[in-house]
Structure 1
């Protein structure tokens, strides 16, 4: 499984990385304000070759004004592309 941690880069750079380095299973992880970017990246990749197999959202209360949201999206390569890699 390849872990992709969404940070300050643009969503396009993560999409390009996933497309040029495909794996049978990937996990996209993000926290805080990057969770929206993680959802966008997974939506674009889902249209390309992957399907979502697991989706998990948590919140962590660190004593701040608002709790910190954490998202993990696990995706698998679609069946029609497994033989081509």
Structure 2
């Protein structure tokens, strides 16, 4: 089955999101980044990337979990600056 241009773009967004979530968590966990806000920014944008792809594919479990992760990251970022 041939992939459409939109499907390829959405796959790239999903993979970029996956890399951001895993990379941000790993980098924070092993001390490569110490700023918790940077970690939350990685998590926010990564979760949104996975959320976009999962919504497009109508796979609802990742939509729910990444929606929660994105919301929690956004709340943490806002609370940090208040």
TM-score (norm 2): 0.31
Q: Which has the higher helix share?
A: 2
TM-score (norm 1): 0.30
Q: Which has the higher strand share?
A: 1
